[in-house]
Amino acid sequence: RVTGPDGQGLFDARINVFKSQTGEWYGAQTRRDGTYQFALPAGTYGLRAEPPQGSSLVVKEIQEFEFRESRKLDIAFDRGITLSGKITDPDGAPVSDVGINASAASGQYFWAGSRADGTYTLAAADPESWRFETEWRGELSPHWRDGHRSKIEVEFLALPGGGTNVR
């Protein structure tokens, strides 16, 4: 069962398990009560649980777990910091289908995508020094293709006492 910080079942979380030796992966969405289920062959797996998009809950990862015949694996999401914004083109029009990737020196990474109105929300664990990168996933308009960058890098640094500094 997947739960939020309040202990309640969490609907529409994405659970991905992968077998690093073979590259096989399996995905499931949580039901209304937070439950999920996989039919997996026996083996060693990694797991990545992604909360519903737009929430302030932080991705959970389990690097390695053994699965034999049956296993119950509960996941409890923690609340993180929320970064949100809007992606626009040089004329101020919203841009959808832009991936916003955040990675930390610790190896953690988080992802969000811009919606039709260009807005995005990304929840991350307490910031240390994060590197943010955007990448276009949709078809580029002529305006973006002709001399405009479709990739932007931003670094947010945690400041003492809270807050962030953008470089």
29-57 CB burial, b ≥16 within 10 A, e <16: ebbeebebeeebeeeebebbbbbebebbb
Residue 5 contacts residue 79 (beta carbons within 8 Å)? yes
- The predicted-structure confidence for 132-166, as pLDDT tens digits, reads as follows 666 655 544 444 444 444 444 444 444 444 444 44
Q: Which residues pair with 93 in a beta bridge?
A: none
pTM of the model: 0.61
Q: Which amino acid is at 29?
A: Q
- The predicted-structure confidence for 22-49, as pLDDT tens digits, reads as follows 888 899 999 999 999 988 888 899 998 9
Q: Is 119 left (phi over 0), alpha (psi -120 to 50) or beta?
A: beta
